[in-house]
């Protein structure tokens, strides 16, 4: 084989290898940081100003995901939509429904057996609840028999708890019961469709608060639908899926890795669920995710490598510039380990910095030019020096009520801070507070997404494309 042929084969090999690697996944806050450095969107907008197009959709808090000329977003109850980026036309939409979940023949047999047990336990539970209710009434109404009735009450309550536990232990039956709106995966504010989809450029992956995960190709053909488990987080499910290589990480009750090819479960880790989304990075040559509750989990096998780094509550850790930050009443920062061995305990960059805030800490922060911008659901913006931990300034943005659910975003040289009442304040980044504009649209809880001269905004009623 001559040298020219060998050289051509080597070049083609590099091209194939580079192509196979593909682009980083696009999902929550696009790349997880909320930064759109090259964007130059309009400074001002309204329902009748700088609107390129607008479509009405049912509620969702999911962040739009842009891939080429497509936008992926969600809608109630459990719908994934693909929208033409140029004109807002819906290209396709599909629902992830429990009607399509079918137990195996073996599971059907177990369900029938457990249903019979559950019917008996349900009668027992109802009888105990009535007896306990009557005793409690007697304790309130008749002081002369109070001590006697209280003595009867304790063993009955213990028996009731055992009966409830036995019903919960009917795992196959409970697994295939569709969660109702009183279950952990649903809350009126978030519905079933708050999680942001994620794409590798060839497929789009989506999860919903009913415990289902699905994979579609870009033309809308579903590749698989998977019942993972019932969500258990209070106030509905919010955490978005994380795509790392051939694994899709989802967190309804446990942290679970699904194989992207067919949705089968690869591993499972007992970590309490959070509304925040875990962030992917590489440490010591290994892919890991940093969880909102401060765990570092190796993606290949689910091994927990570190714990208790911090907590973000309903927002997400920020991984950027070789550092990770946790914001929830305090700001904690760490340098990412560079050695092959990942330590169990990490040395913080500085002493945790307390910042003002009220309510829940919904917005995820933004890091830009060495400054970390953070806030809670009440619009007190805190700016912290990421190198020293020193507070640069705090400012009440006075957004006119509502709660700040959307994460802080950076587009070009501007910061965007929003409330769910539809108000967005545009700020100049830096060590001094400078407001550039204040805009009003309809209510939204999703975070803003930018591309070029356009901004995309998923409201509770639709999807807007803003541009001059």
- Is 315 a member of any domain? yes
372/395 same-domain check: yes
Query: What are phi and psi for residue 106, nearest 5 degrees?
Result: -65, -45
- Is 22 a member of any domain? no
- Is 271 a member of any domain? yes
With CA atoms as reference, report the closest residue to 392 among 430, 364, 425, 358.
430
208/279 same-domain check: yes
Domain CATH code at residue 444: 2.130.10.10
Question: How many separate domains does the chain show?
Answer: 2
Coil, helix or strand for 122?
helix
91/113 same-domain check: no
- Is 3 a member of any domain? no
247/142 same-domain check: no
CA distance 217 to 202: 6
118/242 same-domain check: no
- Which structural domain range is residue 336 located in? 35-100+184-467
Per-residue pLDDT of the chain (468 residues; tens, 9 = 90+): 444 433 333 333 433 333 333 478 999 999 999 999 999 999 999 999 999 999 999 999 999 999 999 999 999 999 999 999 999 999 999 999 999 999 999 999 999 999 999 999 999 999 999 999 998 998 888 888 888 888 888 898 999 999 999 999 999 999 998 888 777 788 989 999 999 999 999 999 999 999 999 999 999 999 999 999 999 998 999 999 999 999 999 999 999 999 999 999 999 999 999 999 999 999 989 999 999 999 999 999 999 999 999 999 999 999 999 999 999 999 999 999 987 788 888 999 999 999 999 889 999 999 999 999 999 999 999 999 999 999 999 999 999 888 999 999 999 999 999 999 999 999 999 999 999 999 999 999 999 999 999 999 999 999 999 998
- Is 223 a member of any domain? yes
DSSP 463: E
204/128 same-domain check: no
149/252 same-domain check: no
Q: Pairing between strand 79-84 and 90-95?
A: antiparallel
Strand partners, 354: 330
- Is 296 a member of any domain? yes
203/132 same-domain check: no
Coil, helix or strand for 129?
helix
258/209 same-domain check: yes
């Amino acid at each position: 084989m001559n040298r020219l042929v060998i050289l051509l084969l080597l070049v083609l090999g590099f091209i194939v290898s580079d192509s196979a690697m593909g682009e980083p996944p696009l999902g929550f806050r696009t790349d997880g940081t909320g930064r759109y450095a090259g964007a130059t969107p309009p400074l001002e907008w309204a329902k009748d100003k700088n609107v390129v197009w607008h479509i009405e959709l049912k509620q969702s808090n999911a962040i739009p995901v842009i891939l080429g000329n497509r936008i992926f977003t969600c809608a109630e109850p459990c719908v994934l939509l693909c929208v033409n980026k140029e004109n807002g036309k819906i290209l396709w939409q599909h629902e992830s429904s429990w009607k399509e979940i079918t137990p195996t023949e073996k599971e059907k047999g177990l369900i029938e057996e457990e249903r019979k047990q559950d019917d008996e336990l349900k009668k027992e539970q109802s009888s105990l609840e009535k007896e306990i209710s009557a005793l409690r009434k007697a304790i309130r109404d008749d002081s002369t028999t109070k001590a006697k009735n209280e003595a009867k009450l304790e063993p009955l309550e213990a028996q009731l708890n055992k009966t409830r536990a036995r019903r919960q232990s009917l795992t196959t039956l409970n697994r295939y019961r569709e969660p109702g709106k009183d279950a952990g995966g649903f809350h009126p504010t978030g519905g079933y469709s708050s999680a942001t989809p994620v794409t590798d450029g060839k497929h789009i992956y989506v999860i919903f608060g009913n415990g289902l995960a699905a994979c579609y190709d870009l033309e809308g053909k579903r590749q698989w639908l998977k019942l993972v488990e019932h969500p258990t987080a209070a106030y509905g499910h919010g955490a978005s899926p994380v795509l790392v290589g051939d694994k899709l990480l989802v967190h309804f009750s446990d942290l679970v890795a699904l194989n992207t090819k067919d949705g089968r479960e690869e591993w499972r880790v007992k970590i309490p669920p959070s509304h925040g989304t875990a962030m992917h990075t590489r440490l010591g040559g290994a892919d890991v995710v940093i969880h909102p509750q401060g765990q570092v989990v190796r993606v290949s096998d689910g091994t927990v490598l570190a714990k208790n780094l911090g907590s973000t509550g309903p927002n997400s850790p920020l991984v950027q510039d070789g550092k990770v930050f946790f914001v929830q009443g305090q700001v904690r920062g760490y340098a990412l380990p560079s050695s092959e061995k990942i330590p169990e305990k990490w040395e913080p960059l500085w002493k945790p910095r307390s910042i003002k805030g009220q309510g829940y800490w919904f917005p995820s922060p933004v890091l830009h030019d060495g400054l970390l911008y953070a806030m809670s659901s009440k619009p007190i913006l805190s700016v912290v020096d990421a190198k020293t931990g020193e507070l640069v300034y705090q400012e009440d943005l006075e957004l006119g009520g509502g709660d700040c659910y959307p994460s802080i975003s950076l587009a070009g040289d501007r910061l965007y801070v929003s409330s769910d009442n539809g108000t967005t304040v545009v700020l100049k980044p830096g060590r001094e507070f400078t407001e550039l504009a204040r805009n009003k649209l309809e209510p939204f809880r999703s975070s803003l997404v930018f591309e070029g001269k356009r901004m995309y905004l998923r409201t509770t009623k639709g999807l807007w494309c803003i541009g001059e």
